[in-house]
Amino acid sequence: AMQVADQLRAGGKVKRGWLGVTIQDVNRELAEALDMDKPFGALVSSVLPESPASKSDLQVEDVIVEYNGKPVRFSSDLPFFVGRSKVGTTADLTVLRSGKLLNVKVKIGHLPESGTAALDKKNHSSKKDTTGLLGMYVRDLSKEEKKQLDLDYGVLVVQLKANSTAVNAGIRKGDVLLMLNKKKIDNVKTYNAIAGSLKKGRPVAILVRRGNGSQFLVLKP
């Protein structure tokens, strides 16, 4: 409370701390897919461009487990800690990456007032893949779509098979697939290579862009 009062006296506005990531809870299925012992922490599903996080070593699929020495048990813990951090200070994050605990330092920025722009959801006709791996048909993103989404990789889901692995994971038509089993999906060719190499019965995490946000889902091949 004192920090807020000091900020108001100094500048008339409260500057809330900002990292520039989107996060989600780690449930049991995600914990298994990410080779974690138990569900814990805040899973980074995207790092916003030109944000404090983008200037640090923080990566998509990192699980933030500590913030300045305080445990981050749920994703909801992190915005509380970050919001109370003073803009310009450096935060010490402990993250779990590929089974190893790492220390990442991020200089806290201030939360911008403007939100992200809405995305055009029109379906463009284009060549798609016809293999239907994991129960979905995908296609490469057009140049216009990449520009609009601010992406240089990913494939668009254009069709789903009923009661398939993809449907059971919660994937929808119009989703953009960004990562699968810790590998970036550059295009249809790389998607097919990754999907075709998955072991049956072993759950894997898939990063999906939907609208303005990204989230990890769990596929069970």
Collect contacts of 163-168 with beta carbons under 8 A, ≥24 apart. Answer: 164/134, 164/135, 164/136, 165/134, 165/135, 165/219, 165/220, 165/221, 166/134, 166/135, 166/136, 166/219, 167/135, 168/220
Quick one: fold of 2-110?
Pdz3 Domain (2.30.42)
Tens of pLDDT, residue by residue over 90-126, are 999 999 998 899 999 999 998 776 443 333 333 444 4
**Residue with the larger pLDDT of the pair 131 and 193:** 193
Domain spans in the chain, listed from the N-terminal domain onward: 2-110, 133-219
133-219 shares the fold of 2-110: yes
Confidence band of 136 (pLDDT split at 50, 70, 90): very high
Whole-angstrom distance, CA of residue 169 vs CA of residue 118: 25
Quick one: fold of 133-219?
Pdz3 Domain (2.30.42)
Tens of pLDDT, residue by residue over 25-38, are 999 999 999 989 99
Residue 197 has pLDDT above 50, yes or no: yes
